[in-house]
Amino acid sequence: MTLPRPAHQRILLKLSGEALMGNDAFGINRETIVRMAAEVAEVINLGVQVAVVIGGGNIFRGVAGGSVGMDRATADYMGMLATVMNSLALADAMSKAGLTARVMSAISIEQVVEPYVRPKALQYLEEGKVVIFAAGTGNPFFTTDTAAALRGAEIGAELVLKATKVDGVYTADPKKDPTATRYDHITFDEAMSKNLGIMDATAFALCRDQNLPIKVFSILKDGALKRVVMGEDEGTLVHA
Ligand code: UDP
C-alpha cells in the first residue's frame, strides 16, 4: 500500500503574533505554542520542508507606538524585535517537539540568533530543519505578511500558508452574517476587486507578481495544517 503523498514539498507558514496568545490578552501562551509546534512536527514528519515567518502583534506593533506619538520607524524596530522573541519561543517549543529549528533574523543580533543568509536557509530546509524567519523584512514600514511573501518567493516556496482565526476567506464576515460562505479558491484579481483584505497590499501584490499562491486557513482547527499540506479541502486558496 502506498501512503498518500503531500501536495506540497516546501511551504512558508505565516503565523501572526496574535495566534500565539491563545485566549490570553497579551504575550505567548505556552499551551498554544506547544500545540503549534506539534502541528508543524506532523507536516515535517511527512517530509515537507517548512519555513515560518512569525509576527509580533502579541507583544508590540509599530502602529500602536506611532499612534501615541513615538517615532514610527523606532516603533517598527520594536515590533521587529518582538518577532525575535516570538521566534525564540517557537524554536524552543519546536525542539521540545523533537524538531530542529533554526532562527534567522533580518536584523543582526548574532549573540542571540543567526543572521538571515538565503543559501543557508535553503540548506537547512533541505536538511529537514524548520527555518524561522525573525525580524520581518528588517525594514520599518513593512509587515510580517510582507516578510512572508518575500521569504516565500526567495526560498521558492510553493505556497504561503496564512494562518488566521477563521477557516478561510468568506463572502462576508461570518461572525456578523450567518449567510456568509467560504470560498474554496479565489483568484488574486477577484480577491482584490472584492476588497477581501487577505494580506496587506504590499504582501498581496508581491505574491500576485511572483505567482505565489496563498492558502488562508485556521490555526485553531486541529490538524488543519496537515490537511492543507495534503491538498485536502481546507481553507481558501488564492491563486493566479
Ligand atoms: N515590522 C516592521 N517591518 C517588517 C515586519 C514587521 O517594521 O518587515 C514591525 C511592525 O511594527 C509590525 C510589527 O513589527 O507592526 C509586528 O509585525 P506584524 O504587525 O506584521 O505582526 P502580526 O500582525 O503578524 O502579529
Q: pLDDT tens for residues 58-78?
A: 999 999 988 899 999 999 999
Q: Answer yes or no: is the C-beta of 61 below 6 A from any ligand 1 atom.
A: yes
- List, for residues 110-121, the tens digit of each pLDDT value: 999 999 999 999
Task: Put residue 223 in one of left, alpha, beta given phi > 0 → left and psi -120 to 50 → alpha.
Answer: left
pTM assigned to the model: 0.97
Q: Region 32-41: what's the mean pLDDT? A: 96
- List, for residues 122-173, the tens digit of each pLDDT value: 999 999 999 999 999 999 999 999 999 999 999 999 999 999 989 999 998 8
- Inter-residue contact 86 to 58 (CB < 8 Å): yes
C-alpha span between 87 and 116 (Å, rounded) = 13
Atom of ligand 1 nearest to the CA of 58: 25
Diameter of the chain measured on Cα atoms: 63
- List, for residues 206-227, the tens digit of each pLDDT value: 999 999 999 999 988 999 999 9
Q: What is the pLDDT of residue 186?
A: 97
Measured by CA distance, the residue closest to atom 23 of ligand 1 is 57
CA of 34 to the centre of ligand 1 (A): 22
Q: What share of the chain is helix, strand, coil (3-state, %, to 5)?
A: 40, 20, 45
Q: What is the pLDDT of residue 165?
A: 87
Atom of ligand 1 nearest to the CA of 14: 24
Q: What is the pLDDT of residue 174?
A: 86
Q: How confident is the model at residue 29 (pLDDT cuts 50, 70, 90)?
A: very high
**Residue 19: DSSP 8-state:** G
Burial category of 179 from C-beta neighbours within 10 Å (exposed 0-12, middle 13-18, buried 19 and up): exposed
Q: Answer yes or no: is the C-beta of 219 below 6 A from any ligand 1 atom.
A: no
- From 20, 144, 202, 206, the mutation candidate for ligand 1 (largest count of ligand atoms within 8 A of CB) is 144
